[in-house]
Amino acid sequence: MTIEQVETEALKLDPQARAKLAEKLLRSLDELSEKEIEQLWAEEALGRDAEIDSDAASLRDAEDVFRDARSRLT
């Protein structure tokens, strides 16, 4: 089963069941070793870099991002 399939099925759950699943998944991350965490971040960075290189990701200036974030806080 792919991640997309699991996500599709999980989103069919009622909100309470989704919250319980999310909590379990988040708790399972606490059990990762430092090396495993570093590996996951490296994989995430490589994936994001590939998205940028293939033009699959949309990029925004940091100034725009911070301006939008500030406007949402006020």
Q: What is the pLDDT of residues 40-66, one digit of tens each?
A: 999 999 999 999 999 988 899 999 999
Enter the pTM of the model.
Answer: 0.51
Cα separation, 22 vs 18, whole angstroms: 6
Q: Averaged over 8-32, what is the pLDDT?
A: 95
Lowest mean per-residue pLDDT among 12-16, 19-23, 30-34, 67-71? 30-34
Checking if the pLDDT of 29 tops 90, the result is no
Residue spans per domain, the chain = 1-31, 32-74
Residue 29: name the closest of 39, 17, 18, 16 by CA: 39
